[in-house]
């Protein structure tokens, strides 16, 4: 969750300046990750005096956002500094991913570390939206209990949802059969019902591929890459675009629906109402069907992986054909958007040893810039850390990091 750190100018009022500077210092310590942050190091990073940073650090220590322990030597002349870390207790983010065949809930702390995770495999197709979201709320309520046992108190919820998501609603999610579903409202009511007497948490929502891409950006192994196209394969095929470290949502919040790019206008009927969408060739159901694997969900995907590892010709051929279709669609996206890399997540991650060659071949032959070449590192598997539930939980924490004063709990009497 790297961020640009820019102090405010002199015209801002003192309270605004201090709140902004508290955010700068907290984010600087958080960005240090496993390294050792010191007051002197933070001052150099954010462009404030050591005295100002020391005062800000003291406030963050008092309000429980930072902890300090031991001594760390900077390698420079002078006294050693005290090592600073973000606290492992206090404000936390709750992320809830609702997908076609599972619900996954994650709690992260200030550092973005996943502290609690619960996943249940459920067939949500054909189930009324209110019931699906009530299921998710029950799982989330159990997660909240586990978080509080670790002295974490979630301050908000972000829902990761498939399909077209905007304005607190799922406008369309073809694989779930949802249309105009007020997901935030339904989930908030269900969570309040599961946790009566507890303060209601604010709820926001976002497309699940967008949040998986943010998780990859913040926690993945992309190093210096800040512009990439993220593709996730589940029952559907979702996409997201990150440009210069920022998610591109589009004018209406619907950017990234790459699974419904038409590969063949006379192809199979898609749930979206069109024909021959990429999802019908490279989605989970299409892959399993082409590979001759019975069943679906996690068990079906595990069986597919088992067969391709064993060299089963039909399974290997199905994955290769899906790779070719992915490569053709991705080449158009790369020509249009010019990302530094393409990252494949979801079920594609574990299939990369068999997907990479056909995808790379299509990209190499079709990307007009000539910048694409097999083995150049532009096609990558997503990291283990990159998932929508964690991205959702971390999205909540961006508000805390932006204004820690607003989330400070009063000290006990």
Residue 301 parent element (H or E) = helix 297-309
What does R_g of the chain's alpha carbons equal in angstroms?
23
Alpha carbons 299 and 220: distance in angstroms, whole number: 26
Under 8 Å between Cβ of 213 and 230: yes
Mean pLDDT by runs of 10 across the 413 residues of the chain is 57 82 94 82 92 94 89 54 89 95 95 94 91 96 94 96 94 92 97 84 95 93 86 90 92 89 93 92 94 85 95 97 96 94 94 95 92 83 86 96 88 43
- What pLDDT, on the 0 to 100 scale, is given for residue 413? 38
pTM, whole model, 2 decimals?
A: 0.89
Closest CA to 245 of 407, 17, 398: 398
- What pLDDT, on the 0 to 100 scale, is given for residue 412? 43
């Amino acid at each position: 969750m790297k961020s640009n750190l820019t102090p405010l100018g002199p015209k801002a009022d003192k309270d605004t300046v201090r709140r902004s500077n508290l955010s700068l210092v907290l984010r600087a310590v958080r960005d240090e990750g496993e390294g050792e942050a010191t007051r002197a190091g933070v001052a150099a990073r954010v462009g404030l005096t050591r005295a100002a940073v020391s005062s800000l650090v003291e406030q963050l220590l008092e309000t429980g956002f930072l902890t300090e322990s031991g001594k760390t030597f900077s390698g420079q002349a002078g006294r050693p500094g005290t090592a600073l870390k973000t606290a492992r207790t206090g404000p936390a983010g709750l992320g809830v991913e609702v997908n076609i065949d599972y619900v996954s809930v994650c709690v992260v702390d200030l550092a973005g570390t996943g502290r609690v995770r619960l996943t249940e495999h459920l067939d949500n197709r054909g189930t009324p939206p209110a019931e699906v979201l009530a299921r998710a709320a029950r799982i989330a309520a159990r997660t909240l209990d586990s978080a509080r046992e670790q002295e974490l108190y979630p301050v908000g919820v972000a829902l990761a949802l498939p399909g077209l998501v905007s304005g607190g609603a799922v406008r369309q999610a073809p694989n779930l059969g949802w249309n105009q579903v007020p997901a935030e409202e339904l989930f908030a009511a269900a969570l309040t019902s599961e946790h009566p007497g507890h303060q209601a948490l604010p709820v926001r929502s976002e497309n699940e591929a967008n949040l998986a891409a943010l998780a990859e950006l913040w926690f993945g192994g992309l190093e210096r890459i800040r512009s990439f196209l993220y593709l996730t394969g589940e029952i559907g095929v979702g996409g997201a675009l990150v440009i210069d470290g920022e998610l591109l949502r589009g004018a209406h919040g619907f950017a990234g629906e790459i699974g419904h790019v038409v590969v063949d206008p006379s192809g199979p009927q898609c749930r979206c109402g069109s024909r021959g969408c990429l999802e019908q060739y490279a989605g989970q159901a299409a892959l399993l069907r082409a590979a001759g694997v019975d069943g679906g969900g996690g068990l079906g995907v595990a069986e597919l992986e088992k067969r391709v590892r064993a060299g089963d010709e039909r399974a290997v051929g199905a994955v290769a054909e899906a790779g070719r279709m992915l490569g053709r669609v991705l080449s158009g996206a790369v020509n249009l958007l010019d990302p530094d890399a393409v990252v494949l997540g979801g079920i594609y991650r574990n299939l990369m040893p068999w997907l990479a060659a056909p995808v790379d071949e299509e990209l190499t032959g079709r990307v007009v810039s000539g910048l694409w070449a097999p083995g150049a590192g532009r096609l990558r598997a997503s990291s283990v850390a990159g998932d929508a539930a964690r991205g959702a939980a971390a999205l909540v924490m961006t508000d805390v990091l932006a204004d820690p004063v607003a989330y400070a709990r009063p000290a006990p009497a």
